Amino acid sequence: MSRPGFVLEVDDRTPPLVVHEGLGFRLESFPQGTRVVYPPESLPAIDDVDTAIREALLNPVDADPLPTKLRAGMRLTIAFDDVSLPLPPMRAPDIRQRIIEAVLTMAADAGVDDVKIVAANALHRRMTAAELKHIVGERVFRSFFPQGDLTNHDAEDRDDLLHIGLTDKGEDVEINRRAAESDLLVYVNVNLVAMDGGHKSVPIGLASYKSLRHHHNPQTMVRSHSFMDHTKSHLHHSAWRMGRLLKDHLDIFQIETTLDQHVFGAPYDFLMKREWEWSVRDQASMLAMRRGLGAAPRRLRHRLFHDLRAPYGLTGIHAGDTEAVHERTIATVHRQQLVELQGQSDVLVMGVPYLGPYNVNSSMNPILATCMGLGYYFNSYRGQPVVRRGGAVILYHPLNEGFNQLHHPSYVDFYEEILAESTDPAVIGEKYERQFAEDPWYVHLYRTSHAYHGVHPFYMWYWAAHAMDHVSEVIWVGADRKVASRLGFRAASTLADALEMASGAVGTNPSISYLRNPPHLIADVSVPGQP
Amino acid sequence: MSWLRDGVSDVRRTADGWRWGRRSQVPRSAEPFVLAPQTTVFRTDWARRRPARIAREVTQKGALEPLLRSQVRARVEGLDVLAGLEGPVIFVANHASHLDTPLILLSLPDEWRRRTAVAAAADYFFDTWWRAVGSAVLFNTFPIERRGGTMATTPGEVLAEGWSLVIFPEGTRSTDGFVGRFQLGAAFLATKHGVPVVPIAHRGTFAAMPRGQGWPSPGRRRLTVRFGEPLRPRPDESPRDFGPRIKDAVAALLDEDRSTWWEARRRASAGATPDPAGPDVAPWRRVWEQTAPVTDPGSAEAPRAWSGRRS
């Protein structure tokens, strides 16, 4: 029996609470009365995953069974979510491997010869062979990768892009040519959070910059309230328009999966437990980990965290028509992650952990940390933001990991040159986005190395646009002051200092909410008189 | 050096935050979400065997009794009711403090104490192995489920082995010192197994060490323990009828302890024994009354020739 999420009110009986901060965590004593939002515990996982996959493929939603769509001589393309999902990476076997193997088994039975598998990485970095192998499994990897039939999507390969048309709002729909010209496109998704999946899979995952710029821009991002609610996200509205246009040109068989909350395996599972329920062993693990991290050099800490593989369980799998499938997927995600919260707070506190979608096997640079805190976590709400307009956000992260030159070369220039001039998403987007997007060196690195696209740091900054527009203060606890200042924020040593600094905006006795994640949660915030 | 200092600081915060050495607490707003404790069947047969009995005798007489006497002053009355009585019996008492069990056990004559076991809440005293072992060795406890469920050993089996039982029918310690609702477990056991019930009333333990306190208050508070005449269930008496009789007997003993045997008897005959549940007044007044020092004008509190006090 999994317990629902709930809102703790800190009192004199509350022990110090875990707050993640990059390659570590701290124990924080919050002021009494602070609301702490705890995610629901894991839903029961499906025991027989292979049978569940087969059932979903044979009995899809609003679509014919997969075997009836497969025939000899057809062109079949299988696309799948890239390394940015799930977080942390799933302990082998990855759910995508099991699904792709099931699809390929049916394709082999039907005599399909022309099969290509493509990672839907959009403008993300190309995955390494090892990363691809971890996701699709050794058998699929060996059958397709050496032959060049298992590839990363290349959003800059003009020969391998096809312009499908324009939506009724004039948005370009341009996706991977091979996928667009296939008789059947099977998309294998991992719906870790509510913003994933649906029409965000194909029209975004397999798109080009020309198509992405219509929704990945400051204006759309500021109006997406929030990304975790696709019915109120302008980004998703745009993706949905594109998806419906694509549906008229292409047969898409969408397979979506949902995972439970098992983010940390033993002995780190104490990080997921409610602190007052920690056993003596959990307390000992915490102390040992704190001391170990305290003594370890940064490289070792990085390795310790980034080598973690999550023992996720599968909570749901649906296949068939994209929108019908996604409706069911979102219902499961909400059951797993939604927590009701009454009213907004003056201050929102969040701990930024070591990992986000864009630093898997990489470093959490200051821009990604901002995106994680003000983009992903801030937007983990439905209804109204957890913090009131004009309130303050307090984030925990040292902002000292620097930049990974292999993965994030354009981030360095973005940080050194663009943010030095302005931190306003609209201003920098208007002046510099096109320059970075079309820079030949960045394009070259994206296509041939393992670099994120030149425009990617802009997108990260746009993710935070809604939060920057909404709150008046952003303070980083334990952060490098120079870095925070470059980002346009302030740094504090302790929570007490941060609250003192925020008092100009929220007074000396503010209401505080702390989102206790990971695991993931969505705060379902209701405010009387507001939708 | 700072690594060591941070380590010490971490350990201190953990010890403080998770209340090392004390029972852990749940934040009030999290209480509705606490999982029901896992029922673990903890066997206590060994605690009634010879090695454990020897260990118990040593710890009770060698450590527990001197410790208790050093912290509180106890006066025991009515032990003569045990004369001519053969065990096993069920001792039934009101429950206001963790002092109650040692107080009652150490008030018993040695031959009775050595053959008495204590029914203890499985979810409280048997939630960890060390607490279970500790209480079983020291007090000869065996677990009972307050909320129903399976038990390793039933109280009936312990009775059948010839052990007397101490049962607190309220099921939990009083929050204000007054007597709460009596559950029917003791009455059920007495009627089912045909054993007498010896009512016990004690006063002062709430004032000396109420809920939430881990050690008796300073000043050697006065406690009183009073044993009552054994009650035997009638042949056709049901637990539902026998239960109130037990509670009335405890109430009469409390009344007797506050006044005199004769006055309490007269009030009991007239059906005017004060309700042990106390008056329906503000909570603070109930606590206030129960934390007043125990007085007994009949004996200990009477002025003595050398005290210089006059009444």
Q: How do residues B187-205 score in pLDDT, each as one tens digit?
A: 999 999 999 999 999 999 9
Q: Nearest by CB to A274, which of B3, B14, B30? A: B30
**Interchain proximity A3–B33, CB inside 8 Å:** yes
Beta carbons within 8 Å of A356's beta carbon, 6+ residues apart: A87, A364, A368, A369, A371, A372, A376
List all residues 6 or more positions away from A89 whose beta carbon is below 8 Å from its beta carbon: A83, A134, A309, A310, A360
Task: Confirm or reject contact between A435 and chain B (CB < 8 A).
Answer: no
Residue A6 has its nearest CB partner, among B10, B14, B33, at: B33
- The yes-or-no verdict on residue B291 having pLDDT over 90 is no
Res A464: pLDDT: 96
Number of residues written out for chain A: 531
Hey, of B3, B9, B12, B14, which one would you mutate to test binding to chain A, going by the most A CBs within 10 A of its CB?
A: B14
Report residue A385 as tokens.
């933001």
Q: How far apart are CA B226 and CA B200, in angstroms?
A: 6
Residues of B in Cβ contact (< 8 Å) with A276: 18, 24-27, 30
Q: Check residue B302 and give its pLDDT.
A: 45
Tell me whether A297 touches chain B (CB under 8 Å).
no
Q: CB-CB: which of A10, A283, A287 is closest to B27?
A: A10
Read off the tokens for B158: 């312990």
Asked if A276 has any chain B CB less than 8 Å from its own CB, the reply is yes
Residue B311: band (very low, low, confident or very high) from pLDDT cuts 50, 70, 90? very low
CB contacts < 8 A (A, B): 62
Give pLDDT tens digits for A178-236: 999 999 999 999 999 999 999 999 999 999 999 999 999 999 988 888 888 999 999 99
Per-residue pLDDT of B193-241, as tens digits, reads 999 999 999 999 999 999 888 899 998 999 999 999 999 999 889 999 9
Instruction: State whether B27 and A7 contact (CB < 8 Å).
Output: no
> In sequence order, what DSSP letters do the residues of A32-101 get, joined into one string?
TT-EEEEPPPPPPPPS-HHHHHHHHHHS-BSS--HHHH--TT-EEEEEEE-TTSSSSPBPSSPHHHHHHH
A10 touches chain B (CB under 8 A): yes
Is A16 at the interface with chain B, CB within 8 A? yes
Q: Quick check: A15 contacting B, CB < 8 Å?
A: yes
**Contact call for residues A106 and A57 (beta carbons, < 8 A):** yes
Express each pLDDT in B102-139 by its tens digit.
999 999 999 999 999 999 988 888 878 888 899 999 99
In this model, does residue A440 exceed pLDDT 80? yes
Nearest Cα of chain A lies from the Cα of B2 at a distance, in angstroms, of 10
State the average pLDDT for chain A. Answer: 96
CB of A33 less than 8 A from some CB of B: no
CB of B7 within 8 Å of a chain A CB? The answer is yes
Residue indicated by tokens 């499961």: A332
Q: What is the pLDDT of residues A324-379, one digit of tens each?
A: 999 999 999 999 999 999 999 999 999 999 999 999 999 999 999 999 999 999 99
A419 is written with which tokens? 């943010």
Q: Give the pLDDT score at B124.
A: 83
From B146's Cα to the closest Cα of chain A, the distance in A is 22
Cβ–Cβ contact B154 with A under 8 A: no
Q: Is B14 on the interface with A (CB under 8 A)?
A: yes
- Specify the pTM: 0.80
